[in-house]
Amino acid sequence: MQISQNTVASIDYNLKDADGQVLDTSEGREPLTYLHGAGNLIPGLESALEGNEPGDTVSVTVDPSEGYGERDENLIQQVPKQAFEGVDQVESGMRFQATDEQGERRIVTVTGVEGDEVTVDANHPLAGQSLNFEVSVVDVREASQEEIEHGHAHSGDEEDH
Ligand code: ZN
């Protein structure tokens, strides 16, 4: 069966940045199982997988516009240290969940600390990067009606949700 709208595909993948450094991989884990056509993967990867079958391998470079977007310098902000309640020591590289003015949750990364000023970056860590995916298609099946309604794949042993 080919990967198409409303199929559930299982894939093994390697993700490398433009310098060939591995950013993410399914190696040593279960393959990634997802509902195709529901926006569960970044657009550039999802469209590259369309029409492939188990046993196929796909190599694709996804530009930021089809990946995690361009970096937005407006998402870099200075916040006072007091904003980090209950954190003993705020350090570069720490990640926090924050809520923006629209009430949307974002992961922010601390990129600098100077005195009482903390610089946080709410860009996705992979924003602005060209992403090189190597994917092997492991399995493709029809999605169940429930999966289509939920907009995601079920593994079969989940609680009701
Ligand atoms: Zn569900």
Residues 47, 39: Cα–Cα separation, whole Å: 10
Under 8 Å CB-to-CB from 38, ≥6 apart: which residues?
148, 151, 152
Tokens encoding 32: 């990634």
Query: Which amino acid belongs to residue 142?
Result: E
Q: How far is the CA of 121 from the centre of ligand 1 (A)?
A: 32
Q: How far is the CA of 41 from the centre of ligand 1 (A)?
A: 16
Q: How far is the CA of 10 from the centre of ligand 1 (A)?
A: 17
Q: How far is the CA of 150 from the centre of ligand 1 (A)?
A: 5
Of 101 and 115, the one with more pLDDT: 115
Q: How far is the CA of 151 from the centre of ligand 1 (A)?
A: 7
pLDDT at res. 98? 82
Under 8 Å CB-to-CB from 81, ≥6 apart: which residues?
90, 113, 116, 117, 118
Sort 161 into a burial class: Cβ within 10 Å, 0-12 / 13-18 / 19+: exposed
| Res. 116: pLDDT tops 90 | yes
Question: CB–CB of 32/137 below 8 Å?
Answer: no
**pTM passes above 0.85:** no
pLDDT at res. 142? 97
Q: How far is the CA of 20 from the centre of ligand 1 (A)?
A: 35
| Res. 36: pLDDT tops 90 | yes
